[in-house]
Chain A
Amino acid sequence: MIEEGRGYDVESVREDFPILTRRVADDRPLVYLDSANTSQKPQAVVDAMSEHLLRHNANVARAVHQLGAEATQAFEDARADVARFIGASRPEEVIFTKNASEALNLVARVVGEPSDYSVGRGDEVVVTEMEHHSNLVPWQMLCRRVGTRLRWFGLTEEGRLDTAVGDIINELTKVVSLTYVSNALGTVNPVERIARRAHEVGALVVVDASQAVPQMPVNVSTLGADLVAFTGHKMCGPTGIGVLWGRYDLLAELPPFLGGGEMIETVTMQGSTYAPPPHRFEAGTPPIAEAVGLGAAVRYLERLGMENVAAHERRITAYALEALQQVPGLKIMGPSEMVDRGGAVSFTLDGVHPHDVAQVLDSLGIAVRAGHHCAKPVHQRFGIQASARMSPYLYTTTGEIDSLVKGLDHVQAFFGTSGGAR
């Protein structure tokens, strides 16, 4: 369903993103359709970071001087901004990491350590066949380390979770970790339902929200998850910063991840005790300017309104699905209807390898991704090696989708495959 929403004016939003005025490929306008890979950055984010670095820079939490206090305040304000943005019940539930991958590795690492939540031999960890490698490999590593069995939900032909298999989540399950929105298929998963089932058997629920938080309203307090990971650079923020949200009482029980400065309570040569969350999980000097940038990014998104961002994403994606399905020889991998679906659309084109599709599109100034998008098992499931992926964001226009479709005609003409003469 296409909702118009109160909406915003895309053209004026585009003015916030200087990069979108760039001309590339022999003076053609840039058509950036790779936002699921990383989003572009609004001026406000870059300004906040440079203002911080040029006027308030100092290390956090360890300097008594004024700049130290300003930097600490800015860092903790960013934490509070992020906490408000995702509906966390308190800022201490927000742990800053390097990216989503580190957040997920943090979880998969600490649940292997002794605690009430520890995962060991004879237990089971459940993931899905549509995970990004970042939410698959850390669990495989955990399972190898502690002798736990890894199980997963398979996928239907349409690219939805196949939850018909009854006993994947069972009494042995200790962790269920799944993506909220698939970066390869675009599928939005029924997180609440799966979390309910997982909690019935006492399992922890971890959600990879890397593709969800950027494009739709996410409230971690009502989602049903115990831990949620996402990454700053896909939501208008800078690279080098990610977030792990966790229920406070759970975080307070979990053992630390990396050891070092700032994560301790007291240290003697015999041993140490650890700081309470979030600092327990933030060893060493954190990405301070990056946190400030992420804080500015969530304020930017709040100004647009996440309902509006989501409505725009739905409108553009519906338009793209419709237009792409008119291209002869094009097959969409994942849901082809705008139901429980995010913005990324992966596809193959008969007779032309995705790399070649992306290369020729690039020569027209159109940026898409080609490959397996760090989700190789998904591609294996559908019997293909690679796909091309277009992913819009809050600044994408229907005109850009038209350019993509025209570009695909050009690709087919170039390689002498069907459809070029249309």
Chain B
Amino acid sequence: MSMQTLYQDLIIEHFKRPIGAGLREPFDVEVRHVNPTCGDELTLRVHLEGDKVADVSYDALGCSISVAASSVMADVVTGGTVSEAMQRYEDVRAMLQDRTGQPDPDKLGDAVAFAGVAKFPARVKCALLGWAAMRDALVQALDRTGESA
């Protein structure tokens, strides 16, 4: 299978210049996710203001796919609402795991570039690491503020 299917230019671009990288204050929740088969590690913080995702900051140690996915995730969800972020997680998960539906560039932004990853099952975990961490952090942040997720 062609390497271009996997390594879209956009992915390489995000990998080389990740958006929102680095851990920042203030934050409400910090989570650490790992990819146990390959050792990729991600520390991620979220900061909410009301129901807005005010900031997502992260420190990603991993392959191009996982770093680029975290970059795209931060870009897509920052500034939106919590429920939008949760929905984007579900959209990306479905695109990668269920391979259902046409990814919608209006909603998913650069995340559509990851559609080809679904053809490389070993890399799906890499592409989901950042998204899963973000979702986990939001769930914890909501729990903390006493609302239900």
A: residues with CB less than 8 A from B are 25, 352-356, 359-360, 363, 370-372, 376, 379, 385-386, 414-415
List A contacts of B65 (CB < 8 A). Answer: 355-356
List A contacts of B3 (CB < 8 A). Answer: 359-360, 363, 414
Determine how close the nearest CB of chain A comes to the CB of B127; give it in whole angstroms.
11
Docked complex Cα distance between A363 and B62 (Å): 20
Judge if B61 is at the interface, Cβ distance under 8 Å.
yes
Contact A359 B39 (CB under 8 A): no
Contact A379 B6 (CB under 8 A): no
Partner of B64, one of A353, A371, A376, A379: A353
Q: Which residue of A has the minimal Cβ distance to B3? A: A363
Contact B123 A379 (CB under 8 A): no
A-facing mask of B1-23, CB < 8 A → 1, else 0? Answer: 11100110000100000000000
Determine how close the nearest CB of chain A comes to the CB of B82; give it in whole angstroms.
31
User: Can you name 10 A-B pairs with beta carbons within 8 Å?
Assistant: A353-B62, A354-B38, A355-B40, A355-B65, A356-B7, A356-B63, A359-B6, A359-B123, A360-B3, A415-B12
Partner of A386, one of B12, B39, B120: B39
Docked complex Cα distance between A389 and B108 (Å): 36
Docked complex Cα distance between A76 and B95 (Å): 52
List A contacts of B6 (CB < 8 A). Answer: 359
Contact A355 B123 (CB under 8 A): yes
List B contacts of A353 (CB < 8 A). Answer: 62-64, 67
Determine how close the nearest CB of chain B comes to the CB of A126; give it in whole angstroms.
25
Docked complex Cα distance between A380 and B60 (Å): 16
Judge if B126 is at the interface, Cβ distance under 8 Å.
yes
Contact A376 B39 (CB under 8 A): yes
Contact B12 A355 (CB under 8 A): no
Contact A371 B39 (CB under 8 A): yes
Docked complex Cα distance between A355 and B129 (Å): 14
Docked complex Cα distance between A183 and B38 (Å): 15
Contact B61 A385 (CB under 8 A): yes
Q: What are the nearest 4 A-B pairs in CB distance?
A: A355-B63, A353-B63, A371-B38, A372-B39
Contact B1 A355 (CB under 8 A): no
List A contacts of B126 (CB < 8 A). Answer: 355
Judge if B37 is at the interface, Cβ distance under 8 Å.
yes
Q: Which residue of B has the minimal Cβ distance to A363? A: B3
Contact B7 A414 (CB under 8 A): yes
Contact A386 B64 (CB under 8 A): no
List A contacts of B67 (CB < 8 A). Answer: 353
List A contacts of B62 (CB < 8 A). Answer: 353, 355, 385
Contact B1 A372 (CB under 8 A): no
Contact A385 B1 (CB under 8 A): no
Docked complex Cα distance between A212 and B38 (Å): 24
Determine how close the nearest CB of chain B comes to the CB of A407; give it in whole angstroms.
12
Judge if B41 is at the interface, Cβ distance under 8 Å.
yes
Contact A385 B39 (CB under 8 A): yes
List B contacts of A370 (CB < 8 A). Answer: 38
Docked complex Cα distance between A112 and B6 (Å): 49
Most buried by A among B3, B39, B61, B62: B39
Docked complex Cα distance between A376 and B36 (Å): 10
List B contacts of A25 (CB < 8 A). Answer: 1
Determine how close the nearest CB of chain A comes to the CB of B143; give it in whole angstroms.
30
Determine how close the nearest CB of chain A comes to the CB of B124; give it in whole angstroms.
12
Contact A371 B37 (CB under 8 A): yes
Contact B39 A363 (CB under 8 A): no
